[in-house]
Amino acid sequence: MDLVLLGAPGAGKGTQGALLATRLGVPKIATGDMLRDAVRQGTELGLKAKAVMDAGQLVSDDIVLGLVRERLDSDAAAGAIFDGYPRNVAQARSLEGLLAEVGRRIDAVVYIDVNDDDIVRRMSGRRTDPETGVVYHQEHNPPPAEIAPRCIQRPDDVEETVRHRLEVYRENTAPLVDHYRQAGVPVHTVDGGGAIDAVQSEILGLLGR
């Protein structure tokens, strides 16, 4: 199965995507995670992407396309949950092209809807364990005491940058909901404001799982 998760930054795509990946037995392709890995490892690509990411802008379509292509040729050869990709209509078309080359297409889109104020609250409380990549929230899901001191805030999770990312999302990514509807791909909307388990159950129900 090839499934695209849409929703603003902080809507819960990463959390829901990880649960879905386990449940459906396909890997999650999260271009943001792949880019952050490249930044951590100090690769040429990571050096190029870092300033763009820290400012809450989108990195170039070519860079992310290369990352996704590698995955489709390896662990995601039989399906994937796409999280944070595609981010604009051009990327959606590229993905359609890549999948068509291997006889696949997007089976469904899940759009996770959360209002902006909740997004800002969620993201400014978000903390990541740099060693495992696991994401916590200071209030709702605090990191265990022994790892709390090493947990960090993503540079692009500070409030001003979050607001900018929401604008970038509205301008570039939100139109994908209509793009997929017009292409005849089933688009399922879920209210992402609820508890993690409740949102996951709703998604699985909509997907008939």
Interface ranges with ligand AMP (CB under 6 A): 9, 31-32, 35, 52-53, 56-59, 64, 84-85, 87, 91, 156, 165
Question: Are the CB atoms for 150 and 129 separated by under 8 Å?
Answer: yes
36 is catalytic: no
Q: Nearest distance from residue 26's CB to ligand AMP, in Å? A: 18
Name the catalytic one among 28, 50, 71, 87.
87
Say which residues have a Cβ less than 8 Å from residue 173's Cβ, sequence separation at least 6. 6, 8, 86, 87, 88
23 is catalytic: no
104 is catalytic: no
Question: Are the CB atoms for 190 and 199 separated by under 8 Å?
Answer: yes
165 is catalytic: yes
Helix, strand, coil % in the chain, rounded to nearest 5: 50, 15, 35
69 is catalytic: no
Q: Nearest distance from residue 145's CB to ligand AMP, in Å? A: 26
Cα–Cα distance measured from residue 77 to residue 66, given in angstroms and rounded to the nearest whole number: 15
Question: Are the CB atoms for 169 and 91 separated by under 8 Å?
Answer: no
Q: Nearest distance from residue 91's CB to ligand AMP, in Å? A: 6
Q: Which is nearer to ligand AMP, 47 or 209 (CB)?
A: 47
Name the catalytic one among 13, 28, 71, 104.
13
Residues with active-site annotation: 13, 87, 126, 154, 165
